Amino acid sequence: MGKYILKRILLMIPVIIGVSFIIFFAMNMAQGDYLDTQDLGELTAEQIAALRESMDLDKPLLEQYARYMWRLFHGDLGKSYSGNRDVFQAFMEKLPSTMYLGLVASLIGTVVSIPLGIFAARKRGTLLDNMASVVAVFGLSVPNFWFGLMIMILFSLKLHWLPSSGNDTWICVLMPALTVGTAKMADLTRTTRSTMLDTLTQDYLRTARAKGVPEKTVVNKHALKPAMIPILNVTMSQLSNAVAGAALTETVFAWPGVGKLVVEAVQQRDIPMACGCLILKCTLIGVIELITDLLFVLVDPRLRTHYAAAAKKKTSFFKAIKGDFQGAATAIVTLPDRIKRAVENHRKDRALVKKEREEWRAAKQKAKERAASGQEKRILVSKQYAKRSLAGDIWYRFRQNKGAMIGLFILLLLALNCIFADVLYDYDTQVIGYVMKERLQRPSAAHWFGTDDIGRDLFARVMYGARYSLAIGFATVALSLVVGMPIGAVCGFFGGKVDLLIMRVLDIFRSIPGLLMGIVVISALGQSTRSLIIAMAVSRFVVVANTTRTAVMTVKNNEYVEAARAIGMPTRSIIFRHVVPNCLSPIIVRTTLQVAGAIVAASSLSFLGLGVPVPSPEWGALLSAGRRFVQSHSYMTVFPGLAIMITVLAFNMVGDGLRDALDPKLKK
Amino acid sequence: MKKLLPLFLAMFMIIALAACGENKPDDTTAEQRTAADLTNFYSQPAETASPTATFKKEITVAHWQAIDSIDPCLKNGNAAECVYKMIHGQLVNYDWISGIQTPDLALSWEIENAASYVFHLRQGVKFHNGEEMKADDVVYSFVERPAAVQGTTGTAVWNEIEKVEVIDDYTVRFILKDNDADFMNRIYLGYYPVLNRKACEADAEKGYYIGTGGWKIEEFKPNDRVVFTRFDDSWVWKENGMTPTEKVTMRFIEESTTYAIALQNKEIAAASQIASVDLAAIEASGAHTVTYEAESLYYMIFNMANGKFANSEDLRKAVAYAINYEELIDYATEGLGSRAYSMWGKSQYGLFEDFDEKYEFNLDKAKEYLTKAGYPNGIEVKLLIKDKNVAPLLQAQLKAAGFEVIVDVKDTAGANAAVKEKDFDLYYNGITLQPIGGRFAFIPDIKHSTNRAFYDNPDMVAQFTAAQNETDDAKRKEIYKEIQIEINNEIPYLALFYPAASIAYCDGVSGVLWEPDSKPDYSGIRWAE
């Protein structure tokens, strides 16, 4: 374990190099440098040249980077371009308030979410479970800058309970912490609920109950501990996120944190400040991650073997690759036979299903006739026992879940709206056409959702905007799943050096806050919907990889995995046929949250002017544009917010339904 | 039903929260507020409270922009100048109403010629460290320190100074490299303070904190706040009477809704750059607002180097007639701005607006010029813009005339880089103005980095130089008139509108000065309890 800790500390060095490399070159890809943010009209050409030289901006990029790294390895983070400030000092000035905000946000999130998640799992399907869904949906579906403004108006302006901004007194932290903590509260509540649901159906808990152990002890002592790994993961990630910086919350509440410092540095192309702050953040996040992994071991000692560098390797990654190649060669050679066998089996299955269906229909008909003739009580053969294929079975269980069906119905309506949007709404006159005389009109019969600041019908814009928002959400998640799941599965299954190395690479991406990564990527690629999707996927695939890794780590030591190894099943098959399907529950939960998160994240980038290009009516852009009017014409933010929220809820309902339908344990 | 309950409850939460924010503005007041209501007074009298009133000792104000440095050699701009006004003094001040300089650290001055200026300094002026201001400090501030501290800004005056001669302890002569009739209208700016040589040489990090102003820096937290404490030995209080305020905290709050709420909550005494949509809510809370004509200008730049507008005056005129200026002003300034016909500011020396051809909204004329330019079926153009909010309106207006506008929204760095690469056809931009006649000397100078239209007119450059050398007032104004007529005819730059600015302060607050160049002066602020 000691060696592992030392290795992790040493591996922070390449992570630091990786972060500085990405930020340095990505910022240089963006149009303009620091001097382009300044008004140089009064300077002579010689003065401008001298300034460029003093900032190394006249040198080739690689040389600039090499000089920067040389200074870095001598412990010098340099001085910012703007204001000539010492980078380390500037960061340390802001860090205490950021840590304070992060700790309070984590505390709020944890104290509320974990008990709520446990109760929701225990009272599945009841009012309490639904209340937890309310918290989840609400926290996820409203962008934090809008939520922050709303609670500021409520608690500060209307009720006079709390100061509106700043950090003069200890109570100033409450609103920003609530803003930061609310979105993650949703994540944590749902993750706790999901993992508790998985654990509560385990056989050993049934044994405990049968032995007369009180339910409270069953839950808190036996069920909670195994569920703690994913819960700890999300809790600690809250702290990491806070350190990474809640830039928008800090802007709304004028909170002097590192998040805003870094975002401003990126926007000003102040490379020393941006790189330096990110390196320091990355180091701090690395320490938090290390503490998280140590806590994992405390909670689940089985994971000790996962981390031990010299552990008895159950599986060697490279041997597994070799085995996979051999397996693949065999599979290719035997492919025709296997196809023939599969087709034959499929035909037999179909014939069997058809026969059993006919028998069932005949039995049903017979029962009807008997009932009609009054000879016997009508006996209906329940559909439940009809023979179905696997897909049919899943669909059947999904259909039993009314909430999931409602969610699916909503999504279908949205899909139809998107497909027929051009027919339903005239793009030129209703969606982007303006009538200044009708600007800022409140909802009425003529304009159901009112009009915006240049007289455009808000209803048409919200409905048409579904196209953009859903496309962005789906595309982002699809991209992050395709990239993140295989990475996470490999890391979680093999552990050891493979996990260590790949996770350090992911640490590089994780160390860069999502918003910041978005700013950097969009600045580099130019503002467009495509670059927006890529920007959001780049920060999200790490979450998917991490979730998959954690889930696989929990499952891979189960007996059926051992059994599969024992019978000589290829590693690839073990991972993707036995391990991943049993890890789908948290992945599905996270994925549905990710779609929602992507839609909301687009609005955060719109807040900074980096969302979809004008005049696209994307929901996040509508929300961001409406924030100026939050005091006077709040309907401009209500309807886009409602649209996001309904979509998020629908995704969550479908996600819950899929989770239950896919879980083999819940067949009973 | 149970599954729908979360949906309804969450909807209720969102609507309830949003409804809490709804402030039904007084529509009557909003309709009545027009450009005609703008004040042309720039200060709020100090003596509004009764003689027996007590005043708060500590006041907090909001500042709309974060500042990471208060070194006058490194940081200029309206935001930083608000800080300089508190802690520093300049040689002269500027009266926006009369348009003339007023004494500050210099009691009087003589203009020997357009390249030679003598200042007689106020005696007995103390810096915050107790040192007396002398002529040597002026030499240090205007020559030595700017040469040593390489900044990106504030160099117009420093670059044109040949030398500063010390005549005696309280008299200096500025000798310029070239004639500059605008010199006296430049040096009032906040980033030309007189610093203390001894303090700056003793402490390179914070020596420039030491000034002659009525306030000294107690604490500066970059991008967070500045805390000032009253400097009782300042000449300012001896001249104008001591303020009862002992401490002023200037908090940097960038989100306009946040400082509007803080004002309504009386957490802050005053704030400037109030968004027009928040004015009604602020007034409803009992605070006062003042809206005034800002000394700024919004204008359209045509790319004269390459692309579609370069050699087509007809195409530029098509744009000039296609823009619905009234709608644009209504939208961008909530109806409080006013139409600009010249690139000169309202208070700028030599303004001329009586053109033969004034560009007003006329869609038929726009289409006519578009056809004349050879594009009867329309043309695609790229609009570079930093303000995302205005973009859709401009796009729609130009579309009506036949321009297919691709909007390219960029931040400042991206926009300046795009300009350098000449990657735009139109560029919507704004600029803060100064009272100097030569403010737009960059317009025809192809070598000037601020000439974003890449307009090349050597004859006009010569006219600007001639104006700088001209000491006869009438002749100088005549030169500027000819320049403005030519710009109006060729329109490399199209003036759009002058915006309005707003400042707000709580009831009982007085002593706030606001100036058209959007730099509020809180040095005399007080708040009656």
SS3 B137: helix
Q: Is residue B435 part of a domain?
A: yes
From the candidates B223, B329, B361, B439, which should be mutated to test the interface with A, based on the most A CB atoms within 10 A?
B223
Domain edge (last residue) among B170, B197, B224: B197
The boundaries of the domain holding residue B375 are: 296-498
How crowded is the C-beta side of B58, counted as CA atoms within 13 Å? 4
pLDDT above 70: percentage of residues in chain A: 86
For helices A458-494 and A584-607, angle between their N-to-C axes, nearest 10 degrees: 130
Kindly list the residues from chain B whose CB atom is less than 8 angstroms away from the CB atom of residue A127.
2, 5
Judge if A339 and A273 occupy the same domain: no
Q: Is residue B11 part of a domain?
A: no
If residue A13 lies in a helix (H) or strand (E), which one and from where to where?
helix A2-29
| Residue in chain B nearest A55 by alpha carbon | B150
Judge if B122 and B186 occupy the same domain: yes
Rounded to a whole number of angstroms, the distance from the CA of A18 to the nearest CA of chain B is 25
Rounded to a whole number of angstroms, the distance from the CA of A331 to the nearest CA of chain B is 47
Q: Is residue A602 part of a domain?
A: yes
Residue for token pair 């737009």: B440
Judge if A605 and A504 occupy the same domain: yes
From the candidates B59, B247, B449, which should be mutated to test the interface with A, based on the most A CB atoms within 10 A?
B449
SS3 A406: helix
If residue B383 lies in a helix (H) or strand (E), which one and from where to where?
strand B379-385
Q: Which CATH number does the domain housing residue B170 bear?
A: 3.90.76.10
Judge if A471 and A492 occupy the same domain: yes
Contact A47 B155 (CB under 8 A): yes
In B, residues 209-248, which contact A (CB 8 Å cutoff)? 221-225
Is B27 an interface residue toward A (CB < 8 Å)? Answer: no
Q: Is residue A570 part of a domain?
A: yes
Contact B2 A264 (CB under 8 A): no
Q: Is residue B305 part of a domain?
A: yes
Residue among A274, A251, A258 at smallest CA distance from A98: A258
Burial class (CB in 10 A: 0-12, 13-18, 19+), A664: exposed
Is B31 an interface residue toward A (CB < 8 Å)? Answer: no
Instruction: Measure the CA–CA gap between B265 and B243, rounded to whole angstroms.
Output: 24
Kindly list the residues from chain A whose CB atom is less than 8 angstroms away from the CB atom of residue B392.
432, 434, 454, 614-615
In a structure prediction context, what are the per-residue pLDDT tens digits for chain B, which is 529 residues long?
444 555 555 555 555 554 444 444 333 333 334 444 455 445 555 445 566 778 999 999 999 988 889 999 887 677 788 999 999 999 999 888 777 889 999 999 999 998 999 999 999 999 999 999 999 999 999 999 988 886 666 567 888 899 999 999 999 999 999 999 889 988 988 889 999 999 999 999 899 999 999 999 999 999 999 999 999 999 999 988 889 999 999 999 988 999 999 999 999 999 999 988 899 999 999 999 988 888 899 999 999 998 799 989 999 999 999 999 999 998 888 888 899 999 998 888 899 999 999 999 999 999 999 999 999 999 999 999 998 889 989 998 999 999 999 999 888 888 999 999 999 999 999 988 888 888 888 999 998 888 999 999 999 999 999 998 888 889 999 999 999 999 999 999 999 999 988 999 999 898 888 877 778 889 999 998 8
DSSP B528: B
Is B260 an interface residue toward A (CB < 8 Å)? Answer: yes
Judge if B246 and B334 occupy the same domain: no
Judge if A506 and A563 occupy the same domain: yes
Domain count, chain A: 3
Kindly list the residues from chain A whose CB atom is less than 8 angstroms away from the CB atom of residue B68.
80, 82-83, 85, 90
**How many other β-carbons are positioned within 10 Å of the β-carbon of residue B147?**
10
Q: Pull the structure tokens for residue B79.
A: 């935001």
Judge if A181 and A200 occupy the same domain: yes
Cβ atoms of residues A179 and A248 within 8 Å = no
Q: Is residue B16 part of a domain?
A: no
If residue B510 lies in a helix (H) or strand (E), which one and from where to where?
strand B509-510
A-B contacts at Cβ under 8 angstroms = 261
Instruction: Measure the CA–CA gap between A27 and A23, rounded to whole angstroms.
Output: 6
Q: Is residue A27 part of a domain?
A: no
Q: Is residue A75 part of a domain?
A: no
**How many other β-carbons are positioned within 10 Å of the β-carbon of residue A344?**
10
DSSP B268: S
Judge if A294 and A364 occupy the same domain: no
Judge if A402 and A378 occupy the same domain: no
Q: Is residue A30 part of a domain?
A: no
| Residue in chain B nearest A54 by alpha carbon | B150
Q: Is residue B226 part of a domain?
A: yes
SS3 A450: coil
The boundaries of the domain holding residue A377 are: 334-387
Judge if B145 and B275 occupy the same domain: no
Judge if A605 and A632 occupy the same domain: yes
In B, residues 453-512, which contact A (CB 8 Å cutoff)? none
Contact A436 B222 (CB under 8 A): no
Instruction: Measure the CA–CA gap between B257 and A149, rounded to whole angstroms.
Output: 8
Instruction: Measure the CA–CA gap between B360 and B340, rounded to whole angstroms.
Output: 11
β-sheet bridge partners, residue B215: B230
Judge if B134 and B241 occupy the same domain: no
Judge if A274 and A339 occupy the same domain: no
Kindly list the residues from chain B whose CB atom is less than 8 angstroms away from the CB atom of residue A154.
17, 20-21
Q: In the predicted model, is pLDDT for residue A312 greater than 50?
A: no
Instruction: Measure the CA–CA gap between A563 and A388, rounded to whole angstroms.
Output: 28
Rounded to a whole number of angstroms, the distance from the CA of A497 to the nearest CA of chain B is 42
Judge if B300 and B424 occupy the same domain: yes
Residue among A178, A177, A186, A200 at smallest CA distance from A117: A186
Q: Is residue A52 part of a domain?
A: no
Judge if B316 and B464 occupy the same domain: yes
Contact B414 A153 (CB under 8 A): no
Kindly list the residues from chain B whose CB atom is less than 8 angstroms away from the CB atom of residue A158.
20
| Residue in chain A nearest B448 by alpha carbon | A41
Judge if B329 and B473 occupy the same domain: yes
Strand order in the sheet with B338-339: B338-339, B493-498, B296-302, B426-432, B379-385, B403-409
pLDDT of A320: 58
- Helices (runs of H) and strands (runs of E) counted in chain B: 18, 21
Q: Shortest CB distance from A632 goes to which of B277, B407, B448? A: B277
Rounded to a whole number of angstroms, the distance from the CA of B65 to the nearest CA of chain A is 11
The answer to whether the Cα torsion of A655, A657, A658, A662 is positive or negative is positive
pLDDT above 90: percentage of residues in chain A: 12
A342-358 average pLDDT score: 79
Q: Is residue B22 part of a domain?
A: no
Judge if B489 and B512 occupy the same domain: no
Judge if B270 and B365 occupy the same domain: no
Q: Which CATH number does the domain housing residue B285 bear?
A: 3.40.190.10
Q: Pull the structure tokens for residue A283.
A: 């180091």
Span of A223-227, A246-250, A325-329 with lowest mean pLDDT: A325-329
In B, residues 153-172, which contact A (CB 8 Å cutoff)? 153-156, 159
Cβ atoms of residues A261 and B223 within 8 Å = yes
If residue B217 lies in a helix (H) or strand (E), which one and from where to where?
strand B215-221
Q: Which CATH number does the domain housing residue B489 bear?
A: 3.10.105.10
Cβ atoms of residues A546 and A233 within 8 Å = yes
Cβ atoms of residues B107 and B176 within 8 Å = no
SS3 B55: strand
Domain edge (last residue) among A299, A317, A345: A299
pLDDT of B24: 42
pLDDT of A309: 46
Contact A31 B417 (CB under 8 A): yes
Give tens-digit pLDDT for A260-300: 888 888 888 899 999 898 888 888 877 887 888 787 777 77
Is B7 an interface residue toward A (CB < 8 Å)? Answer: yes
Q: Is residue A435 part of a domain?
A: no
Q: Is residue A34 part of a domain?
A: no
pLDDT of B29: 34
Alpha-carbon dihedral of residues A369, A375, A380, A385, nearest 10 degrees? -100
Q: Is residue B136 part of a domain?
A: yes
Instruction: Measure the CA–CA gap between A401 and B199, rounded to whole angstroms.
Output: 76
| Residue in chain B nearest A90 by alpha carbon | B222
Judge if B306 and B374 occupy the same domain: yes
Judge if A367 and A347 occupy the same domain: yes
Q: Shortest CB distance from B224 goes to which of A37, A256, A267? A: A256
From the candidates A51, A84, A523, A624, which should be mutated to test the interface with B, based on the most B CB atoms within 10 A?
A84
Judge if B407 and B524 occupy the same domain: no
Question: H-type helices in A218-300, by residue range?
Answer: 224-244, 247-252, 258-267, 271-299
Q: Is residue B72 part of a domain?
A: no
Contact B2 A31 (CB under 8 A): no
Judge if B287 and B300 occupy the same domain: no
Instruction: Measure the CA–CA gap between A138 and B11, rounded to whole angstroms.
Output: 9
Domain count, chain B: 3
Q: Shortest CB distance from B264 goes to which of A157, A523, A642? A: A157
